Chain A
Amino acid sequence: MTRLIVVRLLFGALTLWAVSLVVFAATQALPGDAAQLILGRDATPERLAVLREQLNLGEPVAVQYMQWLQGIVQGDLGTSFSNRRPVAEYLASPVQSSLTLMGLSALVATPVALAVGAFSALRRDRAFDHTSSMGTLIVASIPEFVVGILLILLLGPGGLDLFPSVYARQGGPDQWILPVLTLSLAVAPPIVRMMRATMIEVLESEYVQQARLKGMSERLVLWRHAAPNAIGPVAQVVALQLAWLAGGVVAIEYLFNFPGVGKVLMDAIANRDVPLIQAVVLLIAGIYILVNLVADVIGLAANPKVRVANR
């Protein structure tokens, strides 16, 4: 199993490298003069010269890329154009906020979605199952920022006035509630549906029937016999959804004026702040790969055949 994990890790690193190529190609190595493109109407000969110098545009593309990559590997993400601060330092606080937001959403959404899915499978074709099935379908079919707007209208100051709808630096912890709720609702439906489908399959299996015929209580049947066999397939979907959070957080942060990487990315795009864009996109890709890697490992660990084979 260790070998399998190492192989997965290597593939993860390879994917990240491929992403860095794409990011670099899309931002800096485009045909034409990148400096001209970035500065647009603000271009003056002096500023163009400074920027060309900073991006090493005089060098061949391969050398530019190697220098850029070397910087990133050493933790040097470059200097932001718009505020002249090192990108790494500038990003520290938003990254922390965003990761907290994503982490909270994952902690809320995953267990609730798994429980709802498992319970739907147990109550198959009964009221609870139909309700959750309708509910997840409706939520899944609405874009997440619309869900956010609806929540603001319903629970925000304009509606029931339960929670603040805009993040403010000096606000209390309740200002986290609506962003977390919105992201959780966006992430949960596919997990609920996958958990339900997998659990139904597992509950119909002969080993679950055998457990019942042995006189196990429904609680033991569900948690000891059924759940471990559902983890593998469901982990993949959970990972996809949580990885989606890394990108999905962008629109939601904008909606709630939340000071995270999403907002930084929006601003960076508006300012054509290339080093910042490169760093944020790489970061999102990195989270994506990492979460999927964790899911792969969980999927492998949940399979006793793999667990035993390479010990």
Chain B
Amino acid sequence: MTQENTPDDTTALLVDGLTVIGRPSDVEIISGVSITVRRGEILGLVGESGSGKTTLGLSLLAHCKRATEISGGRVEVAGADLATLSEQGVRALRGRAVAYIPQSPASALNPALRLRTQLREALHDSSLSAGEVSERVREVLREVALPDDDAFLARYPHQLSGGQQQRVAIAMAFIGRPDVIVLDEPTTGLDVTTQAHVLDTIRRMTRDYGTAGVYISHDMAVVAGLADEIAVMYQGELVERGRTEEVMAAPGHEYTRRLLRAVPLLRTDHRPEESAPEEEPLLRVRGLSAGYGRTTVLEDIDVSVSRGECVALLGESGSGKTTLSRSVVGLHHQFSGEMLFDGARLATGSYRRTAEQRRRVQYVFQNPYEALNPRKRVRDQILGPYRHLVGRPQDPDAVVAEALERAALSASYANRFPEQLSGGERQRVCIARAVATKPDLLVCDEITSALDVSVQAEIVALLRNLQDAGMALLFVTHNIALVSNIADRVAVLNKGRIVEYGPVGEVMSAPEHEYTRALIADTPDFAPQGA
């Protein structure tokens, strides 16, 4: 602790000794947390998943998830202690004294209600007339740079882009001019350009409104650029707290130092290419076009991957990068153009490829929470594809142990079920399952985006080891910093076309396309001095 709780008249939020326990186990989910936030300032609350930061964020609105409850401490907003108020009293303060911006607006906006309804009802209990409410709705929409006309207000959430949905969520939170606003990883699903705009909006709105912000995130890079103060959560406790510059320059707690080290830095230095691409690449894609029905998603794509090389496909959501990777692996059928693997043509669907071709190209999915069958043990998850593509193994235990070892897991994981694994361990199991058949090309579709930054770093190190062992990687991502660290060459996708393609050192140090330049500029500037 580098600061004492010294409330003064600029304090908007005061949390003192807040403890939340689980029922009926009485386990403390967060223990004795104390924070204060001043008006117009933002506190960055960082920690990995499971550290209790979301529980803390929700308890600032006196909301507890099922089977949890606040067992002690104070949450003072606008002079009232939410922890002791009645349900009725808390409800009156929500939206007006303290508001919440969710992680995923796509699931937090009600799909069945028009924007007008959802925005207007956020001004519940206010003394405004119907006309004034409408005026306020339009005003706040203009402030977050959204259209304020009737046609827009009549829309449903699914008719908006991800960035627009998040702006609506921000507008919904600010509409009641709250004293405190809680933001739970509000940019997680957004690409860097949209993220930069959203962060900008949040910064401006908190300052203009004199609102105190609590910004929850696992990403130090985002918090460093946004927050005035940083609080670090670890296993339910606040382990470090201080002004952002101080924490960044001299992190006091070992865990903070680990978080800082884990952030991938955007490397824009020019590196000499290690080796020129060999004559015949492992995978060559020429003139590929792909689409869904009558919509064309990809056009005229040329990419090649050599043995032992990592090629990154970089692009925002909707750029077609996942369609391309699914086409390579045979999951997406509707494409035309040339696709050669080790000199032989790859058919459009995986069913029409030879078992040997399927064995040699493997895929790791984005979300490890959905990619593993919850009813099968790790051992069976790994042996399934092996039996199918290679044959019945002589010694199944050896196959499983070797695959787990290549994914940096001990053989003892073989008998576990997915629910007994953390997110990072799940993704390692997914990788083990993919490498069990000893493929030559591994297609990785955003495999780190569902994971904490600290876990991302471990997965990236693992991939680098696999690459050193001779495996080629096609690494799909929207994270440009990650690309600059892992890839040998990068293809930048924008609206279904490759706008830039070359060695990663050249592209990062001298981006030629305007889109690549924008991506680099929008990536949070992050330079920890002490780490």
A residues in contact (CB < 8 Å) with B: 204-207, 209-217, 220, 224-225, 228-229, 302, 304-305, 308
* Cβ-defined contact, A308 with B159, below 8 A: yes
CB-based contact B63/A207 at 8 Å: no
Q: Is the interface of A mostly helix, strand, loop or mixed?
A: helix
A207 touches B107 (CB 8 A): yes
**Pairwise interchain contact B102-A215, C-beta atoms closer than 8 A:** no
**Residue B276, interface by CB 8 Å:** no
16 contacts between A and B (CB under 8 A): A206-B104, A207-B108, A207-B110, A209-B108, A212-B94, A213-B63, A213-B99, A214-B95, A215-B95, A215-B96, A215-B125, A216-B121, A302-B112, A304-B111, A305-B111, A305-B158
Docked pose: A295 CA to B102 CA in angstroms: 34
Q: What distance in Å separates the Cβ of B301 from its nearest Cβ neighbour in chain A?
A: 30
* Interface hits, B303-343 → A, CB 8 Å: none
Cα–Cα, bound, A163→B15 (Å): 64
B30 at the interface (CB under 8 A from A): no
Contact of A209 among B63, B93, B124 (CB under 8 A): B63
Residue in B61, B110, B117, B125 whose CB lies within 8 Å of A213: B61
Give the chain B neighbours of A211 by CB distance below 8 A.
110
B:50-98 near A, CB below 8 Å: 58, 61, 63, 66, 91-96
With A212-B63, A213-B63, A216-B121 in contact, do A229 and B108 touch (Cβ < 8 Å)?
no
Which of the residues B91, B107, B108 comes within 8 Å of A215, measured between beta carbons?
A: B91
**Is the beta-carbon distance between B93 and A215 smaller than 8 angstroms?**
yes
Name which of A207, A302, A305 has the most chain B CB atoms within 10 A of its CB: A207
* Interface residue B109 (Cβ < 8 Å from any Cβ of A): yes
Assess whether B110 is in contact with A229, with CB atoms less than 8 Å apart.
yes
Within 8 A of A (CB), among B145-164: 156, 158-159
Residues of B within 8 A of A308 (CB): 156, 159
- The residue on A at minimum CB distance from B62 is A213
Q: In the complex, A135→B63 CA distance in Å?
A: 33
Report the bound CA distance from A213 to B90 in whole Å.
10
Shortest CB–CB separation between residue B60 and chain A, in angstroms? Answer: 10
Partner of B112 from A209, A217, A228 at Cβ < 8 Å: A228
**Are A229 and B112 closer than 8 Å at their CB atoms?**
yes
Bound complex: CA of A192 vs CA of B91, how far in Å?
30
The answer to whether the Cβ of B122 comes within 8 Å of any Cβ in the partner chain is yes
Contacts of B111 in A (CB 8 A): 207, 229, 304-305
Query: Contact at B109–A207, with CB atoms within 8 Å?
Result: yes
Given A205-B107, A214-B172, A215-B94, also A304-B102 (CB < 8 A)? no
Check: B100 CB closer than 8 A to any chain A CB: yes
B113 CB within 8 Å of chain A: yes
Question: In the assembly, what is the distance between CA of A79 and CA of B60, in Å?
Answer: 76
Q: Which residues of A contact B91 (CB under 8 A)?
A: 215-217
Taking CB atoms and an 8 Å cut-off, the chain B residues in 116-142 that contact chain A are: 117, 121-122, 124-125
- A225 interface neighbour in B95, B100, B113, Cβ under 8 Å: B113
Whether the pair A206, B124 counts as a contact (CB closer than 8 A) is: no
CA distance A181 to B481 in the complex (A): 67
Give Cα distance in the complex from A304 to B159, angstroms: 10
Assess whether A214 is in contact with B124, with CB atoms less than 8 Å apart.
yes
Assembly CA distance A220 to B122 (angstroms):
12
Contact B113 A224 (CB under 8 A): yes
Given A214-B121, A215-B95, are A206 and B102 neighbors across the interface (CB < 8 Å)?
Answer: yes
Contact A213 B112 (CB under 8 A): no
Give 13 A-B pairs besides A210-B109, A229-B112, A305-B156 with Cβ atoms closer than 8 angstroms.
Answer: A205-B107, A209-B108, A210-B102, A215-B92, A215-B125, A216-B121, A216-B124, A220-B121, A224-B113, A225-B110, A228-B112, A302-B112, A304-B111
In the complex, the chain A residue whose C-beta lies closest to that of B61 is A213
CA distance A117 to B13 in the complex (A): 40
Contacts of B94 in A (CB 8 A): 212-215
Question: Which residues of the other chain, B, contact A225 by a CB distance below 8 angstroms?
Answer: 110, 113
The interface residues of chain B lying within 8 Å CB-to-CB of A214 are 94-95, 99-100, 121-122, 124, 172
Q: Which of B58, B104, B124 has the most CB of A within 10 A?
A: B124
Ranked 4 nearest A-B pairs via Cβ: A215-B94, A228-B112, A207-B110, A213-B100
Give CA–CA (A228, B118) in the complex, Å. Answer: 14
| Bound-complex Cα distance A15 to B528 (A) | 69
In the assembled complex, the Cα of A302 lies from the Cα of B110 at a distance in Å of 13
CB A162 to nearest CB in B, in angstroms, measures 42
Contact (A206, B92) CB under 8 Å given A212-B63, A220-B121: no
CB of A259, distance to nearest CB on chain B (Å): 44
Q: Which of B100, B110, B125, B159 has the most CB of A within 10 A?
A: B110
Interface hub of B112, B124, B125 (most chain A Cβ within 10 A): B112
For B124, what are the chain A residues with a Cβ–Cβ distance below 8 Å? 214-216
Shortest Cβ distance from residue B494 to the other chain A in the assembled complex, whole angstroms? 27
Docked pose: A305 CA to B157 CA in angstroms: 9
Separation of A170 and B489 alpha carbons in the complex (Å): 90
**Contact residue among B95, B99, B158, B172 (Cβ-Cβ distance under 8 Å from A304):** B158
Chain B minimum-CB-distance residue to A229: B112
Say yes or no: A210 contacts B92, CB within 8 Å: no
Q: Which residues of A contact B108 (CB under 8 A)?
A: 206-207, 209-210
Measured between alpha carbons, how far is A116 from B70 in the docked complex, in Å?
Answer: 31
Question: Which residue of chain B is the closest to A224 with respect to CB atoms?
Answer: B113
Shortest C-beta distance, B257 to chain A (Å), equals: 33
- Cα distance A305–B158 when bound, in Å? 7
CB distance from B67 to the nearest CB of A (A): 10
Q: Which residues of B contact A224 (CB under 8 A)?
A: 113, 117, 121
- Give Cα distance in the complex from A121 to B125, angstroms: 27
Docked complex Cα distance between A205 and B108 (Å):
8
Q: Please, which residue of chain A has its CB at the minimum distance from the CB of B88?
A: A217
Q: Shortest CB–CB separation between residue A210 and chain B, in angstroms?
A: 4
Residues of chain B in range 15-71 having any CB-CB distance to chain A below 8 Å: 58, 61, 63, 66
Specify which chain A residues have a CB less than 8 angstroms from the CB of B117 in the assembled complex.
224
Q: How far is the CA of A215 from the CA of B175 in the complex (A)?
A: 13
The chain B residue with its CB closest to the CB of A205 is B107
| B253 CB to nearest chain A CB (Å) | 31
Nearest residue (CB) in A for B96 is A215
Contacts of B113 in A (CB 8 A): 224-225, 228
A305-B156 Cα distance, complex, nearest whole Å = 8
- Cα A212 to Cα B102 in complex, Å, equals 12
In the complex, how many angstroms separate the beta carbon of B26 from the nearest chain A beta carbon? 18
Per the bound structure, the CA–CA distance linking A237 and B108 in Å amounts to 27
Nearest A residue to B175, CB-CB: A214
Instruction: Determine the chain A residues whose CB is within 8 A of the CB of B110 once the complex forms.
Output: 207, 210-211, 225, 229
Q: For residue B97, give the distance in angstroms from its CB to the closest CB of chain A.
A: 9
Which residue, A204, A212, A214, has most C-beta atoms of chain B within 10 A? A214
- Knowing A206-B108, A215-B94, A216-B124, say if A304 contacts B100 (CB, 8 Å): no
User: What residues on B are CB-neighbors of A304 within 8 Å?
Assistant: 111-112, 156, 158
> What A residues does B172 contact at CB under 8 A?
214
In Å, the complex CA distance between A229 and B111 comes to 8
B239 CB, min distance to chain A CBs, angstroms: 27
* CA A305 to CA B159, docked complex, whole Å: 8
Q: How far is the CB of B158 from the nearest CB of chain A, in Å?
A: 5
What's the minimum C-beta distance from B457 to chain A, rounded to whole angstroms? 29
Chain A residue at smallest Cβ distance from B87 = A218
Q: A212-B63, A213-B61 are in contact. Are A206 and B112 (CB under 8 A)?
A: no
Name the residue of chain B whose CB is nearest to the CB of A124: B66
How distant is A299 from chain B, measured CB to nearest CB, in Å? 13
Q: How far is the CA of A255 from the CA of B58 in the complex (A)?
A: 57
How far is B117's CA from A205's CA once the two chains are assembled, in angstroms? 18
